[in-house]
Every structure is written in structure tokens, then in C-alpha cells.
Amino acid sequence: MTLKFVRSVDKHGVPRKSTWHVIMSTQGRDATTSRGERGKLYIGVDDRGIELEVMTRPTGPFDEIVFHSMPTSDRHQED
């Protein structure tokens, strides 16, 4: 699988290595993006022990673009 990252994925300060770790070590589930596109949601613990939520969308049969990665603890603070 090839992963590409949009620049805005860095806004929560999650290292790309940590995002990659979550994607490679968890089973993503089908999700719909805020734009109504088909995507995948990954929730898992990264290499630092922090739980992350990561959203991707396919760009090809074996390629995904990562457009969201943040600690789940940030999500709870937004609610």
C-alpha cells in the first residue's frame, strides 16, 4: 500500500510515522468523509502509546491519501 499525506494532516502535530503505524497495525472500517466520499477510518494506538483516529480515502486499488490524523483525546475535548 502506498500512503500519501495532505499537508493539513499535520495540524494536530501527529508524526506521520505514528499515523502510518496505526494504519498498518489496525483494521480500517468503511466510512464516509465529510464530503460524502468513500473512505476508511482507523482507530488504534500508535508507536508512542497514544490512541489516534486516522481518516483516508482511496486514490487507487492499493493507494490511499491520509487527510486526517489526531489523538482521540482531542475529539473528546471538542464534544
Domain boundaries, the chain: 2-78
Cα separation, 24 vs 36, in Å, equals: 24
The end-to-end CA distance of the chain, in Å, is 33
Give pLDDT, residue 74: 80
pLDDT tens by residue, 8-30: 999 999 999 999 999 999 999 99
User: In which element (H, E) is residue 64 found?
Assistant: strand 63-71
CA angle 37, 67, 8 (to 5 degrees): 135
| pTM of the shown model | 0.88
pLDDT grade for 75, boundaries at 50, 70 and 90? confident
